Amino acid sequence: MEKEIRTPLIERGIKKLKAGERVFITGKIYTARDLAHKRFMETISQKRKLPVNLKDQIIYYCGPTPAKPGNIIGSAGPTTSSRMDEMTGPLLALGLKGAIGKGQRDEKVLKMFKKHRAIYFVATGGAGALLAQNIKAARVVAYPDLGPEAVYELEVYKFPVFVANDIYGNNIFKRRRIREK
């Protein structure tokens, strides 16, 4: 089943999403990879305000490549989410409602997603050029010195993802697999 959602995420919209469903996201999302997350954690530990308000937002674990002339953005594929596991809890506590990446998350992190009623989405790895076609605008909003790992605000239209973990704790990576006979 396919669904469409808009950002910012609201409880009413995300409580209808179930693990395994294909979803198309429209609105603003933010990129943040390892280095941006480390800066977020430094800022939080210093009890300072983050450079972007993540309440009800989605972070896309992505470091887009530079845009070729005439393009909005270069390739924009997901990076491995587990690298952000230890830094996810504090962002969820600040109101983050979604993350997009690839691969499984640690069980402890999944419990945090459930506790904060947030969603973990997966995007197709290796399809960064294709995913970039759903990005309609891109601008650096924090940490420009990090280059591709800077925080970008992306305006996406029908950005294709799958719900990997819903707010109820369901997990597509733990579903029973049907084997061919």
Residue 53 CA: distances (Å) to CA of 9, 130, 135, 161: 13, 28, 20, 23
| CA quadruple 146, 133, 161, 159: dihedral sign | positive
Assess whether 37 carries a catalytic annotation.
yes
Catalytic residue among 33, 37, 39, 105: 37
- CA–CA separation, 89 vs 135, rounded Å? 27
Structure tokens at 170: 């369901």
- CA–CA separation, 35 vs 172, rounded Å? 28
Catalytic residues, by residue number, are: 37
